[in-house]
Amino acid sequence: MRSKMPLYISITLVSAAAIFVVAFMYLRLNRTKIDEEEGARYYSRYYAMICDDYASSFWQYVYKGAAEAAEENDAYVELFGSNLNVDYSPEELMEMAISSKVDGIMVLGSGQEEMTALIDKAADSGIPVVTMYSDNAESKRCSFVGVSAYNIGCEYGKQIINARNDKIRLNAETVSANTIPTTVTVFFDDKNLLYDQSIILSGINDTLSREADDAEFVIKTLGIDNSNPFSVEENIRDSLMGGEVPDILVCLSELDTTCAYQAVIDYNMVGSVYILGYYDSEKILNAISRSVVFSSLAVDTTGLGRYCSEALDEYLEMGNTSQYFSADLTIIDRNNVAQSLRKEEEEHE
């Protein structure tokens, strides 16, 4: 029987060649773009930022912070993949960045073995890698910039208590503070079960046990398919329309939050279902001001991006950097949402 091994080798070589060609053309395109936009200015370092949704406002602000910090140290940050007509996966973009021999990589960690292997490949090629927001702790990344998953859980735990107390206050005649348990549904990413999601849940449970006195809570988790908005909307609709409707929804992403508050409006559940959101986009801030969303947990996105650039700069200059940088967390509710909206307006002027 004729061996198929040469065919496998040919396919592998063709795939590798294709990635190299795309990476070369990508780097050439961006080098030309930098020359045109910056008046033929050349930077001493070129960093690649890789995420899963470069068009989202969350990652746009992270990129903004990274680019501003890099500019201060004569480095240029490219939001890798944003100028291509094809949507490549973060893993494919990592291959391109490595082939392009960039000076440093900032990448959204996934905890997956494939990404860990690619981070190790970059490090072995002399390219330092900083994981952003989520980590690949077993990899050779030089630093992780994010937020403590446990602290996120603790903050949500406090907001669950506040939401429960608010609901009891507004419905004192029909809701018993002592006998009726508060039902809470926490949305998790069903397609990418990161280890830190379980840590978030631990933070929630520990905070409720420590600070909720004798109040009873029933915590459930629901896997959400975050691959596209339509699947998220369908999952949330099924949660609200099928079986027992939860008292509180905990959303761990911007997309989950926007889909949840739209569903609550569509099904006339404002006031009966409390939403604890994530991020501080203009839409979410407006939903808080209209009391559709009870509160939202905001990460200092520009600070997160700035730490990424500074970690790469420090590693390249000193040979080492801190293993962990923590971005700030802020709770936005009806007490401070006006201030956040004013800040949003000023940034867009």
Is 341 a member of any domain?
no
On whether both 169 and 114 belong to a single domain, the answer is no
Residue 199 identity: I
Specify the number of domains making up the chain: 2
Under-70 pLDDT residues of the chain: 1-40, 172-179, 191-195, 346-349
Amino acid identity of residue 293, one-letter, is V
Lookup: tokens for 292: 């559709």
CA distance 285 to 295: 9
Task: For helices 113-124 and 90-99, give the axis angle rounded to 10 degrees.
Answer: 10
Q: What is residue 39's predicted lDDT score, i.e. its pLDDT?
A: 53
Is 133 within a domain? Answer: yes
Do 170 and 110 belong together in one domain? no
Contact between residue 205 and residue 219 where contact means Cβ atoms under 8 Å apart: yes
pLDDT at 110: 84
Residue 206: give the domain boundaries.
149-299
Residue 264, judged by CB atoms within 10 A of its CB (0-12, 13-18, 19+), counts as buried
Contact 103, 316 (CB under 8 A): yes
Based on the fold, state whether residues 215 and 284 are members of the same structural domain.
yes
Say what the pTM is. 0.80
Q: Return the biggest CA–CA distance within the chain.
A: 81
Q: Provide the pLDDT for residue 173.
A: 53
| Residue spans of beta strands (DSSP E) within the chain | 45-50, 75-79, 104-108, 129-133, 143-146, 182-189, 217-224, 248-250, 274-278, 295-299, 324-326, 329-333
Residues 6 or more apart whose Cβ sits within 8 Å of residue 201: 153, 186, 219, 221
CB atoms < 10 A from the CB of 204, how many?
25
CATH code at position 259 = 3.40.50.2300
pLDDT digits (tens, 9 = 90+) for 21-58: 455 445 544 544 454 455 557 899 999 999 988 888 88
Quick one: pLDDT at residue 54?
85
